[in-house]
Structures are given as C-alpha cells and as structure tokens.
Structure 1
Amino acid sequence: MAKSKSETPTINFKDPEYYFNRELSWLEFNQRVLNEAVDPRTPLLERLKFMAIFSSNLDEFFMVRVAGLKQQVEANVNKLTADGRDPSQQLTDISERLRPMILKQDQHFEEVLRGLLAEEGIHLLNYADLNVEQRTYLQNYYEDHVFPVLTPLAVDPGHPFPYISNLSLNLAVVVRQPETDDELFARIKVPKVLPRFVQLPRELGVHNKKGKPAIWTGIPLEQIISHHLEALFPGMTIQECYPFRITRNADIAVEEDEADDLLLAIQKELRKRRMGGSVVRMEIHHSAPDHVREMLSREMKLEEQNVHQITGLLGLGDLMSFMELPLPELKDKKWTAIVPPPFQRYRDTEETEGALSVEEKSESFFGEIRKSDLYVHHPYHSFSATIQEFIELAAADPKVLAIKMTLYRTSGDSPIINALINAAENGKQVAVLVELKARFDEENNIVWARKLEKSGVHVVYGIVGLKTHTKTALVVRQEEDKIHRYVHIGTGNYNPKTAKLYTDLGLFSCREALGADLTDLFNFLTGHSRQRSYRKLLVAPVSLRDRMLVLIQRERDRAKKGEKAYIIAKMNALVDPKIIQTLYEASQAGVEIDLIIRGICCLRPGVEGVSENIRVISIIGRFLEHSRIFYFYNNGEEELYIGSADWMQRNLDRRIEAVVPIDDPNIFQDLKNILEIMLSDNRQAWELQPDGHYLQRQPGENEEVRSTHEILMQMALQSSTVT
C-alpha cells in the first residue's frame, strides 16, 4: 500500500493530459472485442460471433457517436472535450485509429478464419471457387429466388441518384451501351429478405484436404447477384461491379418540452430514422476504382476519412448467422443458469409436480425474502426462476395489491409484460414506467406500452428531460399482520434474453426503508412529487453524484491520516470529469483504487504524482459485463453498493438511476468475492496503460488460469447442490 500524503502538489486537473478521449477509449474497447475473434483460445464459431459483434458495435458507433460529431462540425460547434479535442480533431483521430483495426479484422477473417472453418467442414466460398454443378445450382437459385426481388436503379440525367437505406449492402454497377459506348451507372440493393450466405445442397458440398465431408457450403448473396447481372441489364455490356455499404445518422432527437404526446413524438422520429439521416460512413471494396468511389462519396457528401476500403467481405455482422450451426464442439460449452438455493425450496419437483398451489408458492417465495435479503447474479442464476417468478407470482397472488416497475429494455415476447397484463386483469393496481427513449428499442417499447395500456395498466413515459434508466420493481402485498412491500433493485434490464448474455446483479428485499424509498421513487416518476431525500437509496439526479463524491472523499481523508483506504468500483464506463478529478485527489492522498471498467475509461492511470495508486482493468469474455458495484473500505466499516448507474454525466445528471447499499453481511461478502475474482483474473482481464492502450494479462509459467466467467459458473454449479 502506498504511503499516505498529508500534502499533495497543486495540479490543474483540467489539463487535457489527464484524460483519455471518450470516443477513442470506446474504440479501444472494441479492439478488445476484436481480440476475442483473433485469440486462438476462443472456440471457432465464437470467434465469428466476436467478429460480428465488432462490426455491429461499429455500426452503432457511427450511427450515433460519429454522426453527433459530424453534426457539431457542420454547426461550427468547437467545444473542447476534457482531453482537449474539438469535434473535427476527434473525427480525424477516430479515422486514424480505426483503419488499422478494420484492416486487422478484414485480414484475419480472410487469411485465418476462412481456412480454419474449411478444416472443420464449413466452406464459405467465393464464386471463383465454384465448379460447374455448383454454378448451375446457383443459376437456378438466382432465377427462382433472387432475380424477382431485385430492382436496379439507374443514375443518369433522367434518374437522380437513388436513396440508399441505412446499413444496406449494395452493388455499384458500371455498364456500357454498345451503340454509343457510353458508360452508365446503376445501383442494386442486396435484399435483406434473403439469407446473406446462401447454402448449397449437401451433395454439392466440398471436402476439405483431409477428406472431411462438408457440414456447410455456401457463398455470399452479393456474389451470386454480381455474376448474373446480364439478366438485369439485357443488351448492355457489364463493365464493373463493386459492393459498398453505407451507415446513416440514426440518433433520435425529441424536443420533449414541445411534445404534447411523447409517444406520438417518438413515433414520428422513428419514421425519420427509418428513412435515415445523413450518410456518415461508406464501406466499399478496395477494388473499386477512384472514379466510382469518388462519385459515390460526392453523391452522399462524404469526406475521404469516412470512406473505408475493405479487401474482403463487407458487413461481417452477418457472420452471427453461423452461430446457428449445430456444432457445439466449436462453441463455448453450453451454460444453463442455476436456480439459487433460496429459490429452490418451494419449487415443484418431478415428484410434486402440480402439488403446490399459486398461493402456496407465493407464500413460500415471499416468505424467503421476508427472512432475509436475497440476491441474484445473472446469467449464472436463472432469470425465469427469480425475477420473472417474482412478477408472475405477484400477478397471480390474491394477496398482492399492487405492482410497480420500470422498463427500459425488454424482449419482444417478454413474459414480464404478459405477467403485468395478467396482474391488471386480476384487478391489481399496476403501474409501469416505460422508457420510450431507450436507444434502438424505442419501437419495441411503444408496441408494449400500447398493449399494456389496453389491458388496464397505468403506463407512464417518464419525466421531461430525463431518461428513466433505473431497474426497480415494487410489489405491495397484504399479509395477516400488515402490508409488506417487496422490492427488486438491479443493475440490468428486465429482459430474459439479455439476462442470458449480460452479467447483472439484483437485490430482493422486504426492508421497510427500501420499500418506502421505492414508493417515494415511483411517486416521483408517476406523479408531481419533488422528492429530494431517500432513506437508503442513492437516486440520480437527486443524491447519487454528491454521495459518490463524499464516499471517495472520505477514503481520501482517511488516507491523509495515515489510515488504510481502498476503493473498488466496477461499471461499464467512467467519463465524468468531476468523479475522475476526485479519484485523482484520492490517489494523491494514498488511497488504493481498483477500477473494473468494461468499456470507456477517460481516467488515465499510473501517472506519477496523480494516479499511480489507480489501476484499471477491463473484463472481456463470453458474457457482457454489465453490473455496477461500488466498494469503500471506510476504515474497516466496509460499504458496498449496486445499481444501474455508471460514472458518466448522463447517468449522474440526466437519468433517473437507483443505487442501493448492501446491508446483508452474506450478500456483502459474496459480492466482494466477485470483485476479488475479477481483480485476480489472468485470462479475460486487460490492464489499461498510461498511454491509453490495454495489455491482456497472461498466466505465468505453471500459473493456474483464472477466468472470471469460468470461475463464477463453477461456483454457481457448486452452490446449486446446497439445500
């Protein structure tokens, strides 16, 4: 532990040298995602998955972050970020950092993964690789399935440049008119209604060099189209054909103060998104000549830095479809979430199937929460047997009077939604806050909001100027002695699909203070309450920021007195300059600080005299780290919190967030153990360096491999045997 410092040098913490750029830090995160696709320790099909995630992440990055920077440049907004860059500089630096990453992805897929796939009997061919029988089959496939849905769009004085939709894959075709020798241009959209990778019949599959029969053989759809263009342009000479793909601004801006009906306003903006905003990126095959690339760039008003030349396939996000192949040996070992012991005790078994009534199950379930606080850790713990069961039992239980929930993102076929509808139909008071502004889930949320309203659920769309990001549920139950309030406060969305992929924590409790706090919070969300204080909860934008600063400063003050001081904070992103400055001050005073930041981190660790006591790691693996945990040593009176908020300005100042202290000593120790497992990881952990790059930890010689996700899965399995 570092020595305490009663006096610290005066440092200007606004100096840009102490901050990493948010956008470049995000690119570093996506670089770590790409590394999972490159790492030979990752199962082969999982490597394709990470290739796809890398590409999909970039799509959203351009649609939102790059689009926003371009808008600032066009509006002559020159505000500097904490790291001293203006929007134009950020765009230039993004382009420079991104190009080698895209080249790495492109080359690795073409030069490594294609060959490894072929060794396993998965042959993604190019058209030039096909034999006569395969070409004949694809000729028929093209005529029967592809040609009828294609629409070539000419570009000439009578045909203006066509609108090109967001994230669409297209072919730029140059044809020559034999009579006049004139060159003409046309665009063909590769239809999304057909599979991107067209599978050949098994009998036309190829064998690898070892004679292994093909499991899957196919070819990209755009290559089928490009080799049958004569049917689309009869009488013309096909000169050139090049695939390209564009990305448009897809962010939504709603003036809530001027919107009489927020739901209608969001629907209007969604229609605009479907049409798409300005083009912010074009990916084009590197073989396209300058005149084709320049013409497309000119028509879509793109600068060279937003044009990316690709040597292989475009749109590698479509590689995710290969995860559907029934080849478990090429994937991560299947994980089935366990039911935590406290939730096992009342469940039906094969011997007692149907023996327990809803009332008996409900009494047992809520009785467990009355005994003591319980926690769940997804995806290690079952979502359906815990959170989903909590809502479903509440919906059916005659003793339950009311259910209140916040919904930020949920799945299209959510059992949570159906349970809330059942509760309303059973005569219970049901109130749900649906966040319509959850990016890229707005349309889904509108559909379910209307369905909930039709069933009699009270639906609220949030507070003007604030997103409701908190993950909270409140069940009010009439019991013999009194009314009890049961709460769930979590770090993740009420979404059964992402609960299998994201790591999230949730606390169940029947503590009076928490029930009263959530009652006050829901009154704030649904009514005209101006609640400014809470008993236990830390709520943004009311008290969370100030309390987090106080907790950090308390450790700082302890360190100045020569006492042990320690902070561990786990979150998705650390951006807020005030929080970062306060962490720097704590480090200067001698506080040891471990940060577990999955994605963006604008804090620069390891700077002498400023942050040499701060260490930052990122955990990347089969699950997406999404939970937020905050630990403070507090001179041995340790405190630990979980909740929905990252340390970002938007979470602390522009969102409704809830963070809850963990008072149960057993849960406290379990969560602290989770942090310690992550800090000792030598397989999935990456260490942030003072220059902004990350180095992946590697096990030393004869050192046991410590993989966070593997360890936690094993611990969950071991706990499931406890009765």
Structure 2
Amino acid sequence: MTKSKDIVETEINLFDPQYYFSRELSWLEFNNRVLHEAIDPRTPLLERLKFMSIFSSNLDEFFMVRVAALKEQVAAKVNKLPPDGRTPAEQIEMISLRLRPMLMQQHQHFEQALRPQMAAYGIHLLDYMDLSQEQRIYLQKYYDEQIFPVLTPLAVDPSHPFPHISNLSLNLAVVVKDPETGEEFFARVKVPKVLPRFVPLPEDLRVRSKERRAIWAGVPLEQVIAHNLESLFPGMNIQEYYTFRVTRNADLAVEEDEADDLLLAIEQELHKRRMGGSTVRIEVQASMPDTVRVMLRRELGLKDRDVYQVEGLLGLVDLISFMELPLPELKDPGWTPVVPPRLRKIPEPEAGNFQFDAEDDEDFFAVIRTGDLLVHHPYHCFSSTVQRFIACAAYDPNVLAIKMTLYRTSGDSPILAALIKAAEHGKQVAVLVELKARFDEENNINWARKLEQAGIHVVYGLVGLKTHTKVVLVVRREENCIRRYVHIGTGNYNPKTARFYTDLGLFSCREDLGADLTDLFNYLTGYSRQRSYRKLLVSPVNCRDRFLALIQREIEHCRNGGSGRIVAKMNALVDQTLIAKLYEASRAGVKIDVIVRGMCSLRPGVEGISENIRVISIIGRFLEHSRIFYFYNGGKEEVYIGSADWMPRNLDRRVEAIAPVDDPEIAKDVQEFLGIMLADNRQAWDLQPDGRYIQRHPGEKSHEQNTQKILMDMAQQSGGVV
C-alpha cells in the first residue's frame, strides 16, 4: 500500500505551474481584502477612509517595487520563469487587467458612498464649483497668501524641455493659449506636498445642516490652485486643466561588493530615489483628452497599459488625514495595551531618570529567571515589555554587554536612546543596523551615525544579505556566573508600529538560546562561518532545511500509521520548494492550516494535490505580522516563532532567526492564538482553489468570532494595567 502510494506521488510533478498562483496577482487579492474593509459598512466611517488610504498607499509601493522590477526584467529579457510559469510581460498585463476594476470600485465607492456619509456626519469635502461666494473669497485670500508663493509653473516648448515629474507627485496639466498668436502651450504645475491636501474652511464658513453641525469642511488643494491659474499665467488664456500623478521605480540598486563605504553608497542611491527612477505608472483624470494623455505617456516613456484613468480625486492616500478629526464615535473603540501580570511591579523606565534596583526581587531579569515570558503586541504594552527590558539592561550596573539587530525603528526611538545611555555607562554595546531596510534607509543611516558617535559598535550586516531578524542579547554578571538574557521576536523594535502590528516576543535566559544568539552575533559581526545551532533556525544557514525536515517528519508520522498536523502563520507564502513539500505532506494525509496575511502562491483544495490544505487570511484593525509554526509531531508538539516568512528572500537572502517555544504553558498559549484565528468568522477569508477569497460570516445560530477583539478581551481579562 505504502509502496504504491509512493509511486503515485512520483508520477505527479508538484512543481507544475498549474499548482501555483502568481505572487503578484495574489498580492493584488490581498489589497482587495484591504479595500473590502473600506467598503464594509461594519467598519466605522473614519476607519473606512483609513483603509481607502492604505489601499492606495499599498498600491504605490507595489508599483514602485514589484511592477518596477517586472519592467526591468522585461527590458533585460529575463528568461527565468516564476513558479506560476508566467513571463514578466504576462504578469504586467494581468496586473493591469485585474487592477482596473478594483480601482473603479474604490473611486466609485468613495465618491458615491463615503463622501455622502461624511457629509451626513458633518464632514464636508467640497468641490470648488459648489462653493458660495463667501467661501470662494476666503479661499482666494488663502491662495494669495499661502499657496501662490510656493507654486512654480513649468512650461513645455522648444526652449523648455519636458520637466522632471517627481515620484508620487500630484500635478496639474495645464493648456494655455496665447491670445495674440493663437498658439497653445502645455505647462505643468506641481501641487505642493508642504501644504495640506485638503484646505479647511473656517468654522463660520462651514456647511451646516438642520440635522447636524459641520465638524469640518474643506476643498482639495488642487482645485483651489486650478481655479486661480490665471495668476500663474498672466496675459494667457487658460484653456483646460487636468490632474495627473506619477509613480516611479523607487527600489535601491547598491552593488555591495564594489562599495567601499556602504553607508555612503546607500546615501547616494537615496538621492537618486528622491530624483526618481524610471516611470512605471501614471494616473490621470478620466476627463483628460487623448491629446494630453498621449503627450504625457510619450514624454514619460509609458505604454497604454501603464495609464490608469480615475473618476474623481487622485491620490486617495491623503484620506488618512481625516483620522485626525476628534470623532471617536466614527473610529474603532480605543485600545490601551496592557502590562503582562508578571511585569506589573517593575518600575517604569521614564525618560532620563530611570533607576534600576538590583535588590528588587521583581526586577525584569528576576522575572525572566523564573521562566520564559511571552509578550503579544499590541495586546501587551511595548513600552512596558521590550522597551523596559532594554532600559533595565542599559541602567543595570551588572549588565556587561547588549547586542541587538535593528531593521526598522522610529525616528525618536527610546530604545536606541537607552543604548546610547548604556554606552555612556561603559557597557559594551553592539548594534547591527540594516541600512537596506526598504523606505527606512535614511532613518537607519541617521541612527547609525548617532550610535557610532556615542561609541557604540555599529555593523551594517553581511554583503548580499539583509539582516531581518529581531533579536536582543543581554550579558549580565550574577553572583558566580555570567548569564545571558534574550529577546527573540517577530516584529521590529519600533514603538510606533507596535501599536498596530500584531507580533510575538519571547524573553528567556535559557543557556542554549543565549549560546545560539552569541554565535549568531559572531556570525554577523565577525568572520564566523557558524553552520549549526542548538535551538535556532537561522537563515540562510539552516532555516530552509530545518523547515523541510519538520514537514517531512509529519509526513513520516502519517506514513507510519499516525497522524500529521501543521499550522503555519506568516505574512507571505511563495517559496516553491516549501509549497511543494506541503503538497507532498497533504498527499500523505497531513492536515495543514496556513494563515497568510498577504501573498500566497499555494493553491489549496486541489484534488490529489492539496485537498488537506486550508488557507485563510485575516484582515482587521491591526496588521497581522507575527510568524508562528506548529507541528504536531506525533503528540510531542513543537511551536516556533520568529522573523521569517516562507519566501525565497527570507530563507536564502536574509538573516532570520526562528526560535522554539520550549515552555509548555507558553506553547499552549500560542496554540490557543492559532485556534482563535482558525475559528474566526468576522475577519477571516478562505482562499479558494481558483484564487478567489471568500469572507467568512457568522451563521444564523453562531456568534461572531473576531480574532483581534477576542485577543483584546483576553488581555484585559488577564488583569493587566498600563
């Protein structure tokens, strides 16, 4: 029986492109789920505007990085095909076809549904043509005093070449006519980003209704400029004007092997990014005539498929500004993270005056010595856990050394301020700063310089690899020994994103984890070629092989008459080798649940291939960011958390760390989190074999199971305090 089954398995090519979704189209489906949150009437109004903004912001980055890369592959005539078997040109064409109806839905819903709902609540986003005379007079004065001095009209004629259009800039394409010669000319006016996108009207000029007072009223900045163009072109007749927006390639191309100074090389590339790479997309007002559209497309080096017509306002990414309105009833209920019960008695590390009490039995290190500690953000307070741990280490006189990796952090990071204090107190401090963290390069360069000036050992990582792992190692002198404390997480050391990214972090002083992190930092900062680790799964060293082995073990349990079970939660699943292994496991009888927020190339529910695999995606008020891996292992269950998704870049081209959760009680807690997600019927979407996602809904007799709300309730019920 087993032999025949093995023969059947060898007859099917599990790497066949028909079993894989395009990662690009899968990403678009993820963003479509984001758009659904903006359309879902269960989402509070201002949160819906936020999701509209996120949808647009996500698309900007998608074009700047993914579409730009595909265009470069087309230009370079790349022949290597992705797992789904589509050429780069085919991918670009399919992106265009899939995206257009999504954009139409977004803009129609904003114009026809959200704007009227905003007005019903006293938030009036007005069109200039609908303004009263008093409102126009006010905006004329505002234009003269605040806007006009900032504007720079750029003509296009034989003596004025077509101007550089900066990345993500909103512009007016203006056609003017010389009344003396009858000649028509084209000019570009950039809508300045230094001014508010939506110009507010004073309270006495807001629109009021009998039902509700006006909370806010304003006009898009580009409309104010458009109705005052005569001031920019005196003596000329304004014939027509149209808005357009350009997206450029914004990925960095740094030849690390040839760069004598990596920091300087990346600074030079950042300058190029600000100037803008090749154009990859133009969004135009739908009413723009063919003559103007063709001219823009030609001057920007684009094809017809790169032009996206928009009905209504361009650049809906700016809708995020409405979240600043003081209208809590139109937002999600406020959430205040709690402090885990075991940490409540530890003094808070307040700015500059934190005093560490080494005699206190409740200090952070004593808590960890009593057993591993798991924290779950944003349900647990970041400042009272991760931030506090590093502050304790910085001020504790018994701490000898602190080492950490930094991928992304905030511009005013209290963690790095604490590290600077630690260096000032004479501790050995080493920080690996990843300069190539996309769109955070400049922030990381600034921190790298500040850390170096404070006497901290700053390392920029390994050539050819991004350091994406999230780890801290603290070396402390205690009585007759040196003890190592670790934090291994799934998220960045960023107090701002920790408020709305879901992430796990493990604190421990287990000797094997401390020894592994020591070896990992030696690998990162020195010339170590460490190939084996006691507990950690480390990319690019052993992570892929270990995951394949863990899946194979479940296969062997099934083949030997037992049962197999895998639950894997991550941001993206696109690695073909691991997907093929999951297919093999499914065919052997292993039951597999995959929780993927974004891209998923695995095709579930295919008879004979993946009928034992279920894929869900959870989209909610918090961004699901944690990575969790569960293996049944014949009843000897194993749980892992860490920084790596199942993508080639995470397994082969990044430094990542995945740690086992060895504490049985903590492992049960993590399994409970997974169980709650798998039972979700509010935020969960099921991936179908044809690539569609279907959102779950509570049945008539069942209660709503909202993962993130349940986890917030659980955190509050634990009795945590801020």
Deviation digits for residues 328-373 of structure 1 (CA, Å, limit 9, x no counterpart): 00000110000001111333799xxx99754346962100101100
Q: 1:69 to 1:240 in 2, by over 3 A?
A: same
Count of paired positions: 716
Name the structure 1 match of 2:96. 95
Report Cα offsets for 1:42-67 as digits up to 9, x if no partner.
Answer: 00000000000000000000000000
SS of match in other structure, 1:292: helix
Q: How far has the Cα of 1:179 moved from its partner?
A: 1.1
Q: How does 1:56-455 map to 2 (within 5 A)?
A: 56-208=57-209, 210-347=210-347, 357-360=356-359, 364-455=363-454
1:418-451: per-residue Cα shift (whole Å, max 9, x none)? 0010000000000000000000000000000000
User: Which residue of structure 2 lines up, in the alignment, with residue 13 of structure 1?
Assistant: 14
SS in 1 for 2:26: helix
The one-letter amino acid of 1:715's match is M
Q: Aligned partners of 2:263, 2:635: CA distance in 1, in Å?
A: 49
Shift of 1:722: 9.8
Q: Is the 8 A contact 2:357 2:363 kept in 1?
A: no
TM-score after normalising by structure 2: 0.98
Give RMSD over aligned pairs: 1.6
Secondary structure, aligned partner of 1:319: helix
Q: Secondary structure at the match of 2:404?
A: strand
**What is the CA–CA distance in structure 2 between the aligned matches of 1:355 and 1:301, rounded to whole Å?**
57
Aligned twin of 1:580? 579
**What is the CA–CA distance in structure 1 between the aligned matches of 2:361 and 2:121, rounded to whole Å?**
50
SS at match of 2:718: helix
For 2:187, the aligned partner's letter is A
CA displacement at 1:8 relative to structure 2: 3.8
Secondary structure of 2:363's match?
helix
**Superimposed CA distance per residue, residues 93-124 of structure 1 (whole angstroms, 9 cap, x where no aligned partner):** 00000000110100000000000000000000
- Percent same amino acid at aligned positions? 70
Question: CA 1:81–1:6 in 2, change beyond 3 Å: closer, same or farther?
Answer: closer
- In the alignment, what sits opposite 1:526? 525
Residue 101 of structure 2: SS of its match in structure 1?
A: helix
Work out whether residues 604 and 614 of structure 2, in 8 Å CA contact, stay in contact via their aligned partners in 1: yes
Q: Distance in 2 between matches of 1:349 and 1:22?
A: 44
Runs of 5+ consecutive residues of structure 2 not aligned to the other structure: none
Is the 8 Å Cα contact of residues 5 and 590 (structure 1) preserved in structure 2? no
**Secondary structure in 2 aligned to 1:720?**
coil
Amino acid at match of 1:81: P
For the 8 Å contact 1:347–1:361, the answer to whether it is kept is: no
Q: 1:382-421, CA deviations, whole angstroms, 9 ceiling, x for partnerless residues? A: 1000000010110000000000000000000000110010
Q: How does 1:548-563 map to 2 (within 5 A)?
A: 548-563=547-562
- Residues 401 and 478, structure 1, Cα contact 8 Å, conserved in 2: yes
Query: Counterparts of 1:356 and 1:274 in 2: how far apart (Å)?
Result: 44
Q: Give deviations 1:240-277, integer Å, cap 9, x for gaps.
A: 00000000000001111111111111111111111110
What is the deviation of 1:76?
1.6
Over 3 Å counting, the alpha-carbon distance change for 1:261 and 1:362 in structure 2 is farther
Residue 606 of structure 1 pairs with residue 614 of structure 2? no
> How much does 1:180 deviate?
1.2
- Residue identity matched to 1:443: E
Q: Deviations over 1:128-168 (max 9, x none)?
A: 11011101100100011011111100000110000110000
| Secondary structure in structure 2 of the residue aligned to 1:605 | coil
Structure 1 residue 717: Cα displacement:
0.3
Distance change in 2, residues 1:195/1:552 (3 Å): same
Counterpart of 1:310, as a letter, is V
- Partners of 1:223 and 1:53 in 2: how far apart? 23
DSSP-derived class of the 1:359 partner: coil
Provide Cα deviations, 1:167-223, integer angstroms capped at 9, x if missing partner.
000000001111111111000000011000000001101123x43110000000000
Which secondary structure does the structure 2 equivalent of 1:507 belong to?
strand
TM-score, with normalisation over the residues of structure 1? 0.97
Contact 1:503-1:624 at 8 Å conserved across structures: yes
1:153/1:162 contact within 8 Å kept: yes
Contact 2:686 2:693 in 1 (8 A): yes
2:349–2:355 CA contact under 8 A, matched in 1:
no
Aligned residues of 1:362 and 1:397 also touching (Cα < 8 A):
no
Q: CA deviation at 1:77?
A: 1.6
Inter-CA distance 20–242: structure 2 relative to 1 (3 Å threshold) = same
2:507 is paired with a residue whose SS is strand
* CA distance, structure 2, for counterparts of residue 364 and residue 83 of structure 1: 53
Q: Distance in 2 between matches of 1:292 and 1:349?
A: 59
CA 1:430–1:294: 2 relative to 1, 3 Å: same
**Paired residue secondary structure (2:161):** coil
The question of whether the paired residues in 2 share the 8 Å contact of 1:348 and 1:356 is answered with no
Alpha-carbon deviations, 1:525-559, whole Å to 9, x = none? 00111111111111011111001000101111111
Query: Which residue of structure 2 lines up, in the alignment, with residue 659 of structure 1?
Result: 658
Deviations 1:453-497 (A, max 9, x none): 000000000001111000000000001121110000000000000
Letter in 1 for 2:152: T
